[in-house]
Structure 1
Amino acid sequence: MISTVDPSQPSTQYPTFTIDPSLSAFQLPPKTYLSTLPNDISNSTSLLTPRFIAVGALTFDSHSRILLIQRASTDSMPHLWEIPGGGCDEDDPTILHSVARELEEEAGLRARHVWAAEEEVRAGRVGGVDIKFTTAEQKQVILDAFQVRRTILRGSAAGVEGGIATG
């Protein structure tokens, strides 16, 4: 999803964006989406029903680098790295609006952030900065995003449209 932010609008406004139809399942309010998930916890092997949604923005620049932010020293998991994101708020119109809001909030904070190439993510080092991710799963999602991006770019070069959002 690519958003466009109008700096003249108050920060309470959501960035405007358009989406690819492949993302339509996330055009629901968070509560509505959660209500569509299975609610069967009678089987001891099933997972508990989720009660909230966390989102993340996999944001690339024109050099195929991904945006990473460093958590504050006062935050949980201090000084660790991740993609911009957070939880869906109850008043977010849709899950996609949550992603757009979090990206604006996180990227606009006075936080240390870095653009990392895939090789740098794999190495855990960008320039002179060691990158330690919040979780191994976070690092894997980022590496998977590079693979998906390559697939989409190959499809675009061949004239095939991929499942990405555009602004």
Structure 2
Amino acid sequence: MPRDLPPNLSTPTIPPSLAHHSITLADWSTTYPKYAKLIVGALIFRCSAPSYPPQILLVKRASTDSYPNFWETPGGSVDASDKTLLDAVVREVWEETGLRVKNFVQQVWDANEGAIDVRFWWCKLNFFVEVEEGEVRLDVEEHQDWGWFERGEVEGLGFVSKQEVEIVMNGFKAFEAGR
């Protein structure tokens, strides 16, 4: 069940390199008509001290949902009601974790795509974001567990695809490059 956005949700900082994603789903779909569905993902990291290894926030899909029991980054479908693609990231992070995005850092991976069948292609855009401090709160209809994981722990988890693991690993590289 989607959670309402908090009334005082502030607009996160968006670097110039991501300004082209401040468009509506309709505008994006006109540019990329091949795709029937656009999905966004958020890579959220923490590092308790400069000498400690970074950790990424992952959520485990509910056993009753599609792709049950797999780990993933928070994210989901861009809705026609989202003002922009980046607003969809903010909404999905809030709905799935209860956390508020404060900064967009960069896009991680150009895009990954797939097809359910030859008539239904999807595309996923992944973003490295920073969030305000807060407690993770899951929507139990979508996710059953969450955790902070170091790079070496990620490959042992079950993901929907090998490409998802590569995206997470690229996220670690992006995070470490900005430290």
Same fold (TM over 0.5): yes
Selected match of 1:18 from 7, 13, 16 = 13
Specify which structure has the higher proportion of strand.
2
**Structure 1 counterpart of 2:174:** 148
Query: Structure 1 length normalisation: TM-score?
Result: 0.70
CA-atom RMSD in angstroms: 1.7
Shift of 1:52: 2.1
Shift of 1:51: 2.3
Q: Return the letter of the residue paired with 1:76.
A: S
TM-superposition CA deviations, 1:7-60 (whole Å, max 9, x none): xxx6365832111111101100111122123x5xxxxxxxxx112210000001
Indicate conservation of the 8 Å contact 2:5/2:91, yes or no: no
Q: Distance in 1 between matches of 2:89 and 2:39?
A: 9
Q: Which runs of 4+ in 1 moved over 6 A?
A: none
**Structure 1 counterpart of 2:147:** 114
Q: Distance in 2 between matches of 1:115 and 1:88?
A: 25
Selected match of 1:104 from 91, 94, 102 = 94
**Structure 2 counterpart of 1:7:** none
5+ residue gaps, structure 2, are 49-53, 99-138
Q: Distance in 2 between matches of 1:81 and 1:70?
A: 4
**Structure 2 counterpart of 1:51:** 36
**Structure 2 counterpart of 1:84:** 74
Selected match of 2:56 from 57, 61, 66 = 66
Query: Structure 2 length normalisation: TM-score?
Result: 0.66
Q: Percent identity?
A: 33
Task: Report which of the two structures shows the higher radius of gyration computed on alpha carbons.
Answer: 1
Q: Distance in 1 between matches of 2:42 and 2:176?
A: 17
Q: Distance in 1 between matches of 2:35 and 2:6?
A: 27
